[in-house]
């Protein structure tokens, strides 16, 4: 599965332990809007920002368009690198039509926002 994420919102929220980053937007497949996404990144001071790492834990859920309420979905969990924008991880949950993807690896190329689930 190859998709492109189109960011429409990005908000940082700082707290005593680190920073939350909330991102939302559209998911495109062959330039067609097929889903929306919500992403939450967590920077934890002295946990994700030391030893040369500029990273965050990340959870992203894709909400597929259609008549289903709630929508069919895929949830990704992994690590985000702020220097490159790249991500890596795996599919942690999915609704029935996408359940076969659970456990599959994913990458997100920061330069293009291309999401690949293999």
What's the rounded Cα separation, in Å, for the pair 98 and 105? 14
Domain ranges of the chain: 2-117
What's the rounded Cα separation, in Å, for the pair 6 and 112? 10
DSSP letter at 66? S
Neighbouring-strand partners of residue 35: 27, 64
Mean pLDDT, all residues of the chain: 97
User: How does residue 64 score in pLDDT terms, banded at 50, 70 and 90?
Assistant: very high
**Can you give the pLDDT at residue 66?**
94
Q: How far is CA 100 from the centre of its chain?
A: 18
Q: Is the entire prediction scored with pTM above 0.85?
A: yes
Q: Is the pLDDT of residue 52 over 90?
A: no
pLDDT, tens only, 22-49:
999 999 999 999 999 999 999 999 999 8
**Can you give the pLDDT at residue 57?**
98
């Amino acid at each position: 599965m190859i998709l492109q994420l189109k960011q429409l919102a990005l908000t940082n929220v700082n707290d005593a332990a680190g920073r939350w980053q909330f991102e939302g937007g559209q998911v495109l497949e062959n330039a067609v809007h097929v889903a929306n996404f919500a992403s939450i990144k967590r920077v934890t001071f002295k946990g994700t920002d030391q030893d040369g790492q500029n990273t965050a834990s990340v959870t992203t859920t894709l909400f597929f368009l259609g008549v289903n309420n709630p929508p069919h979905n895929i949830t990704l969990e992994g690590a985000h690198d702020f220097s490159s924008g790249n991500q890596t991880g795996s599919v942690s949950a999915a609704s029935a039509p996408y359940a076969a993807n659970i456990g599959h690896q994913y990458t997100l190329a920061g330069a293009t926002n291309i999401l690949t689930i293999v």
